Amino acid sequence: MRQCYIAGNWKMNKTRAEAIDLARGLVTALKGGRHRYMIAPPFTSLDAVASVIRGTNIRLGAQNVACEESGAHTGEVSPLMLKDLGVRTVIIGHSERRHLYKEGDALINKKVRLALKHGFEVILCIGETLEEREAGKAQEICGSQTRLGLAGVTGDELDGVVIAYEPVWAIGTGKTATPEDAQGIHAFTRVTVAGLYGKAAAEKIIIQYGGSMKADNASALLAQPDIDGGLIGGAALTVDTFVPICLV
Ligand code: PEP
C-alpha cells in the first residue's frame, strides 16, 4: 500500500523570518497527520527551517540541486552542501527549471543519478505543455521524460524516486487537470515504470500530482487509484491553504 505523500514547493518565496514562521505553523498543525509530508523552502532558508522541523514528521526538501559535487559552478548548490543542511529530498526537473531555465533531460538525468548516489530521495517532475497536450502528445512527452530522467537508475535506486506529474498548463494557473485526466497520465506513467523496472516496482513507486492543487480539489484528485499525493506550489505558502490538503 502506497502512503499518500504531500509536498510543498515554496519556490522563490519567503524571507528567513517568514519561512520560520510558516514552518512553525506547519509543525503544530501537522503533528499526528496521517500522510507523509515534505517542505522545500528556498536555499536561503533551508538552514533556518531545518532547525524548526528537526525531529518532526515533516522532511526537508530542496527545490533543485547541482549536477556536480563541487568546483567552478557559480550559483549552483551541491548535493554535499544540501546534505550538510539536513536536506533529505530534492526536487529535480520542475517545469520552471525545464522551461524558464532550459534544463533538458540529459542534465536532469545527471542530477537524478548524482542525488541518488548521495542518498537523497528524488522527486522527478514530468509534464506536458498545453501545446503538447492539444497535439495529443501528453503520454509521449511524459513517457519520454520518465525514461530519460531515470536512464541509468538501478532497480534498487528506484526506491528513492518519487515521480510528480505536473502538467505545465496547470502550474500556478488555477487550471487543474480533471481527476480523470490526471489519473490517465498517472496510470500511464506507472505502466512506463513497469516497462523499465517491472510490475512490483511500478506498484510501489509514489506518483504525486501537481498543478493548482487546492483544498477544494485535493480530495477528488487523491481519491484516484494512481494519484499518491501532491506537489503543491501556491497553496503551500500559508498554513491555512496547505494544511487542509495535508489533512485530506
Ligand atoms: C508546483 O510548483 O510544483 C505547483 C504545482 O505549483 P501550483 O500548485 O501553484 O500550481
* Nearest-angstrom CA–CA distance, 133 and 56: 40
Residue in 94, 121, 128, 186 annotated catalytic? 94
pLDDT for residue 38 is more than 90: yes
Average pLDDT over residues 105-121: 98
Band (66; pLDDT cuts 50, 70, 90): very high
Residue nearest (by alpha carbon) to ligand 1 atom 8 = 233
Band (174; pLDDT cuts 50, 70, 90): confident
pLDDT for residue 177 is more than 90: no
CATH of the domain at 115: 3.20.20.70
Q: Which atom of ligand 1 is nearest to the CA of 125?
A: 3
Are residues 5 and 206 in contact, defined by beta-carbon separation less than 8 angstroms? Answer: yes
> Which one, of 160, 163, 151, lies nearest residue 209 by Cα?
163
Residue in 121, 132, 157, 166 annotated catalytic? 166
pLDDT tens by residue, 118-144: 999 999 999 999 999 999 999 999 999
CB count within 10 Å of CB 204 equals 15
Question: Is 166 designated active site?
Answer: yes
Band (172; pLDDT cuts 50, 70, 90): confident
User: What total number of domains does the chain contain?
Assistant: 1
- Distance from the alpha carbon of residue 230 to the mean position of ligand 1, in angstroms: 9
Band (26; pLDDT cuts 50, 70, 90): very high
Sole residue written with cell 549552483: 76
Which of 64, 212, 216, 246 best tests ligand 1's pocket when mutated (most atoms within 8 Å of CB)?
212
**Apex CA 231: angle with CA 187 and CA 103, to 5°?**
90
**Averaged pLDDT score across all residues of the chain:** 97
Helices (H) and strands (E) in the chain, counts: 11, 8
Band (17; pLDDT cuts 50, 70, 90): very high
Instruction: State whether the beta carbon of 236 lies less than 6 angstroms from ligand 1.
Output: no
Question: Is 186 designated active site?
Answer: no
Which residues constitute the domain of residue 203? Answer: 5-246
